[in-house]
Structure 1
Amino acid sequence: MEKNVVKNILADIDLRQNLIKLKGSMTAADTLDGPIVEKLCDCLSHEDPKVRKNAALLLGYTKNSMMASVLLDAYKNEEKDFVKDAYLKGMSHYDCKPYIKELQEIQNELMNSEVVDSKHIKAQLKVLNPMIRSYSYHKKKSIRLLHKEVDVILTTLPYYQYTLFEQVKHLRYKPVGQGVLVRTKAIYDLLGLRNYREMIFPLSGCSGLAQDGHLIGKRIAQSNLVDVLHRLYDAEGCFYYRLVDQMREKKSAVINDVVQELIEEMPSHLQNVTSDYDIEILIR
């Protein structure tokens, strides 16, 4: 942390530039206290939105638990959308359990906004979703007994494929490379079938892609995934998912890029977790 920069901020010298410098010099081990904290709180009502934004981010570096309340109040009063995620990032450094109900209300409002694809709303949900999840119990979603038609692939070993045909003759079906593609209005009716290994829902526009995580993530976001989930599940809101790497050659960088792209593209629909997930997304 640069002491001269702090002095300049306290003296209102090149305020925006010095706030950016201070933010850039901070490390995880640094802590702000004393007069600079009070000054940063004052900056939350500054006329320059970029001053407010950088001050909010810096207020995540104090040890004062009351900063969570200060930042939440400033968030509610903020008029510029591009500044709002900074207040949430600052809050994420503190215990926000006392404010979880208010944060959930903000999350719900953002997810039901008519401009849910706005990059500023996505930026806020990117911070809010994992923060709320860390304080919440997730109840797994239930599949409908009857639903609109969906296509599902029942994978099987090659020598079991024809015996599986016999069990799905009453449905629309066709053989595919991995097993049998079936169109059904009741997934539960398929659970009792023998000889299949996996139940996979193919996503439109997601086959034959290059091993580019950003491309794969974008195609998943543009696919029929949300429609399939809404057909199958008697629930709305965010789905917890686990991303499974089933490529022949494992490429962790590709998988990480897929996750990051889905965070950017689908913050109101998907959250990546490693346990207690609703669905798995298979990359194969």
Structure 2
Amino acid sequence: MIKKICEEIYAGINVRENLIELNQMIKDEGFLDSFLDEYYENEAKFKELLDSEDSKIRKNIVKLLGRVADPELKDDIFRHYQAETTQFLKSDYLSALASFDYKEYLPELKKRWYELGEQERTKHSVEELKQLKLLIWKVEPPKRHTFDGYDMENKVLLIVSRGHEDTVLEEVKKIPDTTGKVMPGGCMVSTKRLEEVSRIRLFQAILFDFCPSMIPSYEGTAIGEKIIQAGIVEYIQKRHKEISPFLFRVEVKGVKDIAQKNRIAKDLSKYLEEHSKGMLVNEPSFYELEIRVIVGKSGSRVFLKLTCMPDTRFAYRKYATSTSMQPTKAALMMHYIQPYLRADSNILDPFCGTGTLLIERAKIMDFRSIYGLDISGQAVQAAWENSQRADVMLHLVQRSFNDFTHEYAFDEILTDMPRRSDNRPQKQIEYLYHILFNKSHELLAPKGILVVYSEDKRMMESELEEASWAKLLNKYPMGRDDASWIYVIENTEE
């Protein structure tokens, strides 16, 4: 079958159709081996098709020779790539070239990439750019940029859990050369001390406000035009040491319709690649920049998340589970209860999970000892690993709180209470709250404090009301609509 097809090609019969059929057949390795025997007996007849006047023949012979992958073909394919004047064929030569050791052509491939980046994009030039990028990055994977924007004036949005904006702003205002104001879900901050701001443990993320005006559009192309005019490329370059292309992705918030959301992201990404002179490359898998579009009633706001700016606040948290407390929430909890803590305390978390709450307690104030309990061996191991990374000595025990005893009392019992789930019905949660109060009464020193993060207000306050030894010192709302609270409780018994 293969021999018959090849003989027709040699005779100039249905060349294009036969090449298409060959390309389909040799996807099977068995057919490929048979074809290679035929190819090496008639190399010249196949290679001369690279000079065919029919662009479709050139397209299909390039694909075929890419599958042959004979090193002697490399120069021919690259030479014909450079000479090719039909734009839609360019990417096919590059796809074929990927089968060879093409490192020697890297300077010329890079030059072509930059040249195309300067030109107006077309459907076919975009495909060529894509293939060039794959070839270049296969040999030289993109290196991350180095953030260098700490010492300049920066306007940033700190993303904060709702209801805690004023708390974060108070911390911001303690930093010299820094001002701010609250807004729903965050704090807008102007600072010349970005490094100090970035060390605050209470916010979730930093977004750079490079385009401070509302864009009166929900269309990706219009948004792209505005942010290019606002100088997004120059803004990014000023805040990094290197000026090589930046990899980005687009994230759209505030749009419920998935199709509309994807369309905005796709159109914006396309516009930025086409109008940034090759400096912005859409690469969601390896991005360094997140271009975040927040859609509102009167238009769109666009911010930048620069992932090259290190965030080491919670670098210890290598291991976490779906039920682990978020570190910013643990840090907020410690911030609120700090007035009730003592530097010489013996501390216990009876449901410690992966150790986040205990590590944040250790970071805010000195202590004498810290113990953590959990019935999960996996959680205890994760807590130990995290504590080693945080350089905090935790005494960790795989045991139920109900079975735990200790030779001395604890000054602080801190915990994030387990929540109802498919594996943990409400009856079990009620039992755990009951155990929490009974065992805390047994293990808490006089004037010691029990601090509980709870998402079950009814259960928590029911147990609190029945505990004659317990005095509520304070409680702090942690979520909207009474969804979660921090309770600070004192043991009043001597």
TM-score strictly above 0.5: yes
Q: Does 1:191 align with 2:198?
A: yes
Q: Identity, % of aligned pairs?
A: 22
Shift of 1:40: 3.2
**Higher normalized strand content (fraction of residues):** 2
State the match for 1:15 in structure 2: 15
Specify the structure having the higher radius of gyration (Cα). Answer: 2
Corresponding residue to 1:176 among 174, 179, 183: 183
Q: Is the 8 A contact 2:182 2:188 kept in 1?
A: yes
One-letter identity of the residue aligned with 1:143: F
Q: 1:10 to 1:264 in 2, by over 3 A?
A: farther
One-letter identity of the residue aligned with 2:203: Y
SS in 1 for 2:71: coil
SS in 2 for 1:117: coil
* Alpha-carbon distance in 2 for matches of 1:150, 1:219: 25
Shift of 1:77: 1.5
Corresponding residue to 1:102 among 91, 103, 108: 108
Corresponding residue to 2:157 among 146, 153, 165: 153
SS in 1 for 2:96: helix
* Alpha-carbon distance in 1 for matches of 2:123, 2:88: 9
Q: 1:258 to 1:65 in 2, by over 3 A?
A: farther
Corresponding residue to 2:167 among 160, 163, 171: 163
State the match for 1:270 in structure 2: 281
* Alpha-carbon distance in 1 for matches of 2:272, 2:50: 29
Structure 2: which 5+ runs fail to align?
Answer: 295-494
Alignment of 1:113-262 (within 5 A): 113=118, 115-145=119-149, 152-166=156-170, 167=172, 173-182=180-189, 187-188=194-195, 190-201=197-208, 224=227, 226=233, 228-241=235-248, 262=269
Shift of 1:261: 9.0
* Alpha-carbon distance in 2 for matches of 1:61, 1:118: 28
TM-score (norm 1): 0.72
One-letter identity of the residue aligned with 1:270: V
Q: Is the 8 A contact 1:40 1:58 kept in 2?
A: no
Shift of 1:145: 3.1
SS in 1 for 2:101: coil
Q: 1:96 to 1:223 in 2, by over 3 A?
A: farther
SS in 1 for 2:51: coil
Q: 1:70 to 1:161 in 2, by over 3 A?
A: same
TM-score (norm 2): 0.45
Structure with the greater relative contact order (CA < 8 A, sep ≥ 6): 1 or 2?
1
* Alpha-carbon distance in 1 for matches of 2:194, 2:61: 52
Aligned residues: 273
Q: Is the 8 A contact 2:217 2:223 kept in 1?
A: no
* Alpha-carbon distance in 2 for matches of 1:173, 1:165: 7
Q: Deviations over 1:147-166 (max 9, x none)?
A: 99775321122343113324
Cα root mean square deviation, aligned: 4.3
Q: 1:56 to 1:261 in 2, by over 3 A?
A: farther
